[in-house]
């Protein structure tokens, strides 16, 4: 299994960015919030508490709560925990909001001068999950180190 290579850098405005080389994506972490990378259905997803994401179909009913225990990495402010391959004792509690299908994709095959034509459609199923909480050993100490944010 390939490891994720993560580089952390501070930009001049002191905004924290996380650069994931494997998926070639630069993500701005919201001010002083926790971000976790979890693995489910053979894919890795970046999640934050209180946000929802669409993942591969989980086969669970709506409003069912499940726990994802394959947590690859947790970033809180300027501190990060990286698992090898997963963090022990870390878990993410999520609730399935809905199950659905994505837009239809048309697949068309043709062989020149042979009279071979095939047209298929495919709609991939997905589950929309809401992240309830990110739990890991030592969470209280990490949250205590983060500066308080003023809410307007």
Rounded-to-integer distance, Cα 58 and Cα 28, Å: 28
Q: For position 151, what pLDDT does the model report?
A: 57
Rounded-to-integer distance, Cα 20 and Cα 34, Å: 16
pTM above 0.85, yes or no: no
Domain ranges of the chain: 6-145
Backbone angles phi, psi at 145, to 5 degrees: -75, -20
Q: Which helix (H) or strand (E) holds 144?
A: helix 139-145
Tell me, rounded to whole angstroms, the distance of Cα 42 from its chain centroid: 12
pLDDT tens track of the chain, all 152 residues? Answer: 444 444 444 333 344 444 444 444 444 544 457 899 999 999 999 999 999 999 999 999 999 999 999 999 999 888 889 999 999 999 999 999 999 999 999 999 999 999 999 999 999 999 999 999 999 998 888 888 776 665 54
Q: For position 150, what pLDDT does the model report?
A: 59
Q: For position 33, what pLDDT does the model report?
A: 74
Place of tokens 């669970």: 60
């Amino acid at each position: 299994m390939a490891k994720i290579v993560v580089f952390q850098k501070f930009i001049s405005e002191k905004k924290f960015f996380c650069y994931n080389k494997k998926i070639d994506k630069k993500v701005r972490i919201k001010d002083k919030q926790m971000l976790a990378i979890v693995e489910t259905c053979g894919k890795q997803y970046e999640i934050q508490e209180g946000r929802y994401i669409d993942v591969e179909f989980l086969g669970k009913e709506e409003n069912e709560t499940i726990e994802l225990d394959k947590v690859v990495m947790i970033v809180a402010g300027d501190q990060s925990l990286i698992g090898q391959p997963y963090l022990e004792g870390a878990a993410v509690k999520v609730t399935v909001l809905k199950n659905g299908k994505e837009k239809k994709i048309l697949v068309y095959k043709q062989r020149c001068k042979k009279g071979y034509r095939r047209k298929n459609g495919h709609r991939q199923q997905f589950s929309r999950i809401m992240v309830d909480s990110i739990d890991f050993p030592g969470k209280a100490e990490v949250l205590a180190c983060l500066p308080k944010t003023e809410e307007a």
